[in-house]
Amino acid sequence: MQQRDTHLKQQKAEREKYYKHAMKARRNPDKYLSIIMDAMDQAKTMIPHFTATPKFADGMWKLKTHLLGAIVHGIGAYGFFDIFQWPHGSNLTISTLLNILFMMKDSLPEVLYLQMDNCGRENKNRYDTCIKNSDKCNAQIEIKSLKFATV
């Protein structure tokens, strides 16, 4: 029981920190940028999608699609779709993040708060942390402070 309480307290503290970072980005966009990224379960994004599958569609072929969403606090929400033309791993995640940063290249603040899933295959691995050390990976984006949040 104590292990569960500890987990819940840690989860609450992380959520509050995320809300704090999002608010800082909304209030002071010249200094802070807060992005949360997550992918959606592929079974829910297959096309065509029915809320209740009709009988004629039971064995129907469906197009597999993958949605990776991002909320840039104070700026907007973005959705990036692919139809399995790229592997789902760190390359797709980092490409999506770089697309967002390049869309904002003229107004990037010096602090980036980045909230992602804790999946090592897709996020928070050596490829994603390359952004933090951009001088070692030929990036054209300068961010002075990158802070990952754990979920």
Q: What is the pLDDT of residue 149?
A: 62
Reading across the β-sheet that carries 76-82, which strands appear in turn? 76-82, 66-72, 32-39, 111-115, 145-149
Residue 35 pairs in a beta bridge with 72, 114
* Range from 20-24, 104-108, 135-139 that averages highest in pLDDT: 20-24
Q: What is the pLDDT of residue 138?
A: 42
Q: What is the pLDDT of residue 24?
A: 95
The CATH architecture annotation of domain 2-149 reads: 2-Layer Sandwich (3.30)
Q: What is the pLDDT of residue 59?
A: 81
- Please identify which residue in the block is written with the tokens 């920190």: 17
The length of the chain is 151
Around Cβ 1, how many Cβ atoms within 10 Å?
5
Model confidence, pTM: 0.74
What is the residue-averaged pLDDT of the chain? 79
Q: Where are the domains of the chain?
A: 2-149
Question: What would the pLDDT profile of 32-69 be if each residue is shown by its tens digit?
Answer: 999 999 888 777 777 887 788 788 878 888 888 888 89
Question: What would the pLDDT profile of 65-104 be if each residue is shown by its tens digit?
Answer: 888 899 999 999 999 888 777 777 777 888 888 899 888 8
Q: What is the pLDDT of residue 76?
A: 93
Of residues 100 and 120, which shows the higher confidence score? Answer: 100
State the average pLDDT over residues 18-36.
93
Distance CA 148, CA 111 (A): 11
